[in-house]
Amino acid sequence: MSKVTIDTSTSRATPTPVPGKRMTVPSLRGRKADGITQEPIVMLTAYTMRMAQLLDPHCDMLLVGDSLGQVIYGLPSTIPVSLEMMCAHGAAVVRGSWHALVAVDMPFGSYEGSPGQAFESASRVMKETGCAAVKLEGGEAMAETIAFLSKRGVPVIGHVGLTPQAVNMLGGYGARGRETAEAKKILADAKAVDQAGAFCMVVEGVLEEIASQVTASVAAPVIGIGASPQCDGQVLVTEDMLGLFERTPRFVKRYDDLAARIGEAAAAYAAEVRSRSFPTADQTYPPKGRPKGA
């Protein structure tokens, strides 16, 4: 991985990286050769410039997921997320990264109508954000669209298993594939997405056996979320992994407890403001000629 530094002395928004080469679609697709992925693919979600800067050196891919609807906007599901939201956040994440491949989710209603509608939406996302790929949910039903986009220069990440945009059909966000028929359907979906030309795919919320079969049956790398260690890579929603929410789904491992730490920092600040112990002379502009803090 290239070594990068962020120069924050001139601007918070403009990183000055040590020139490094961004991950590409062929380099990621090539991680899986003859069905084997030697180095698992690391993916996290990012929605903002600063989070992208922090995650970028550690990730192969940053996903601007439509989960931003819930995580950033407090929406009840991903259904209301718009193309405008995805473009604004996608552009911010591209500006904050230089190493990871950035992929942007196609929001509900922006691609299912026809391959032509999908191309219009995907090309807008790519032009307005500078991202290198889009992700869309659906298996066999989306195969024609995935092929249409891939043949026209739009790299596609598929998404099968639990597909949150179908929450109203599924009736919730529980793991999929517990029934034999549904397990077979998930495998068929993954194969259809693979054959249609997706360069990799997310498999979400499935039993380990299904994840294992999918990973062994498709040529494209499989990135799992709630899908066991059998996959070619893993993705988590960053805010879940950092412990920013009360609820921790079973498949999430918390690597920090940021909610508690932010609460403590905010409480300390509030107490110091109320007791007038912040700001001190250290945080106050001195008159000309007088040293800071004197």
Catalytic residue positions? 204
Cβ at position 66, least distance to ligand KIV in Å: 5
Which CB, 20 or 40, lies closer to ligand KIV? 40
Q: Is 94 exposed, middle or buried (0-12, 13-18, 19+ CB in 10 A)?
A: buried
CB 67 → ligand KIV: shortest distance, Å? 3
Q: Residue 231, class by beta-carbon neighbours within 10 Å (0-12 exposed, 13-18 middle, 19+ buried)?
A: buried
Query: What Cα–Cα distance (Å) separates residue 79 from each residue in 73, 247, 290?
Result: 12, 21, 57
The CA distance from 227 to 163, in Å, is 13
Please, are residues 97 and 121 in contact by the beta-carbon 8 Å criterion? no
User: Measured from the CB atom, is 66 or 189 closer to ligand KIV?
Assistant: 66
- Distance from C-alpha of 45 to C-alpha of 19, rounded to nearest angstrom: 23
- Between residues 6 and 102, which has the closer beta carbon with respect to ligand KIV? 102
* Of residues 91 and 225, the one with the C-beta less far from ligand KIV: 225
CB of 7 to ligand KIV, least distance (A): 30
157 or 192, CB closer to ligand KIV? 157
Dist. CA 208–CA 227, nearest whole Å: 6
Segments in 14-171 forming alpha helices (H): 25-29, 49-55, 68-71, 83-95, 115-129, 143-151, 167-170
Report the interface residues with ligand KIV, using CB under 6 A: 45, 63, 65-67, 105, 202, 204, 225, 235, 237
- ∠ CA 275-276-277, nearest 5°, is 90
Residue nearest to ligand KIV (CB): 65
Least Cβ distance, residue 43 to ligand KIV (angstroms): 8
Distance in Å, CB of 278 to ligand KIV, minimum: 37
Give least dist CB 78 to ligand KIV, A.
6
Which one, 45 or 53, has the nearer CB to ligand KIV?
Answer: 45
Peptide bond before residue 15 is cis, with ω within 30 degrees of 0: no
- DSSP string covering 1-41: -------TTT-SS---PPP-PPP-HHHHHTTEETTEESS-E
Pairing mode, strands 133-135 and 233-236: unpaired
